[in-house]
Amino acid sequence: MKNITLLLLCLLFFMHSALFAKDYTQKHEVRLFVDQMVKRHKFSRSYLNDLFRSVKFQKKALAVYVPSLRPRVPRRPSHSARKIGPWDYYEKVMLKESKVTKGIAYMHQHRETLSRMYSKYGVQPEYVTAIIGIESHYGVNTGKFPVFDTLTTLAFESHRRKRYFKSELKEFLLMTRREKVNPTRIMGSYAGAIGLGQFMPSNYKSYVVDFNGDGKKRMNDSQDAIGSVAYYLKRHGWHRGEPVAVRVSYPGKRFNSRKTGYRHSYSRASLKDIAPKWQFDYHGRVYLIKLKRYHFDELWYGTKNFYVITRYNHSSYYAMAVYQLAERIKKGYKEKYGSYLR
């Protein structure tokens, strides 16, 4: 009886595996991709065929880009019905007190690496810490999707962004060969982003640095991640010591008199009816960043460094969350340790 039960369990396991394993070498598009990787990048054909022969189909990842694959769930009340504005909700999710507390602890734990990073790249430690906190909760959640399987699914199933993911798959295979790692062992996000800073494979060659000096570039290593996030910001134009944002006042409760967002910059002299709420030592052009709350709009000046953060994630709300989390971590660090890390 025990042997029969064991046999049945084994059969169920293999049937379950067979349902979700897919031989992508049967696709003409994949065979063309393999041909290109062999011809242009000197990959072994047998090596690639072995990889593509048993891909675990990532339905959850594909569902992000194909709405028809998503399970039906009851619709949540709108922000208006919940009496909460978009920024109120974003702030609640992204700026939890636990994220500040863990950020202070992370910054203290890695203070030597962060100090060395600041000396080399000029990016304030709290900003690198905040980005790592938002991207991966300080390394606790770097992703549960197998990156090779995810990128293969997204590269060769039908949806509007498949060309982008085919390019990322190519870069991923090149990166794993360069770094001498098994592509089937790397876990990441539903989009194939990797490590504490959630870098896409295409960012590895240009922006990931070996900051611990071990001859490897690993975004799952805190030292390499800290150096790489800072280097990314530096390469995109971060200015050492310059502010990022300041809240401003304006007439009324809703702001619609000028275009907002990081695509529109202004000289401060042209914004006669707008003034910083506290000291703001910055004389460059500014962006008007509107945070829509339920009862009113918050308005902020964003600087060049604010714009640089949007190169990491093209969202003004994201950049503002990084700024506010960084400032709270900095304040908490000074209160707890009596000094500021530099």
Catalytic positions, please?
Answer: 135
Cβ atoms of 59 and 19 within 8 Å: the answer is no
Under 8 Å CB-to-CB from 237, ≥6 apart: which residues? 304, 307, 308
Q: How many helices (H) does the chain have, and how many strands (E)?
A: 14, 9
Backbone angles phi, psi at 53, to 5 degrees: -75, -25
Distances in whole angstroms, Cα of residue 93 to Cα of each of 86, 90, 96, 99, 126 = 11, 5, 6, 10, 19
Structure tokens belonging to residue 256: 């619609």
Give me the sheet containing 275-276, strands edge to edge: 265-266, 286-292, 297-302, 245-249, 275-276
Among candidate residues 138, 255, 155, the one with its CA nearest the CA of residue 201: 155
Distance of CA 136 to the CA centre of its chain: 8
Contact 243, 282 (CB under 8 A): yes
7's tokens: 């046999």
